[in-house]
């Protein structure tokens, strides 16, 4: 089945850029998502990208997709303490199910 991997932890200083990486195995994935989860809360859809795109920018967020390497990244510009959360990437499988990565805990220090 689909395997989605993320690094577990990222620490940055306020104002720096954060880059969260994700790798996946199913080359037929059509939609790739980034979700944010704050402590004790559900998931918030941040952004998503179609597989026929290389890049998508949405305000402070930039998503890069390298289909050849099956690598997805989320860049957060000017990271703020309010961005501290767990970030999940998720990809669709051939059966249109969403498979989640392990989540990356982002800690932003002042």
Partner 1 sequence: GAVVSQHPSWVICKSGTSVKIECRSLDFQATTMFWYRQFPKQSLMLMATSNEGSKATYEQGVEKDKFLINHASLTLSTLTVTSAHPEDSSFYICSARKRQGEAFFGQGTRLTVV
Interaction site with partner 1 (CB under 8 A):
31, 33, 35, 40-45, 48, 88, 90, 95-103
Output the CA–CA distances (angstroms, integers) from residue 91 to 15, 24, 101, in the order listed: 29, 8, 8
Minimum CB–partner distance for residue 40 and partner 1 (Å): 8
Take residue 89 and report the two structure tokens written for it: 């990437």
Minimum CB–partner distance for residue 43 and partner 1 (Å): 4
Minimum CB–partner distance for residue 28 and partner 1 (Å): 15
Return the number of the residue (38 or 78) whose C-beta is nearest partner 1.
Answer: 38
**How many residues does this entry show for the chain?**
110
Return the number of the residue (27 or 44) whose C-beta is nearest partner 1.
Answer: 44
Using CB atoms within 10 A of its CB, is residue 74 exposed (0-12), middle (13-18) or buried (19+)?
A: buried
């Amino acid at each position: 089945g689909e395997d989605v991997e993320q690094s577990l932890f990222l620490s940055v200083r306020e104002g720096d850029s954060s880059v969260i990486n994700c790798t996946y195995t199913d080359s037929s994935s059509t939609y790739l998502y980034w979700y944010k989860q704050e402590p004790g809360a559900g998931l918030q859809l941040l952004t998503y990208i179609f597989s026929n795109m290389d890049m998508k920018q949405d305000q402070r967020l930039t998503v890069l997709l390298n289909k050849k390497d099956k690598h997805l990244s989320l860049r957060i510009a000017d990271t703020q303490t309010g961005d501290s959360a767990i970030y999940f990437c998720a990809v669709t499988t051939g059966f249109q199910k969403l498979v989640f990565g392990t989540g990356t805990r982002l800690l932003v220090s002042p």
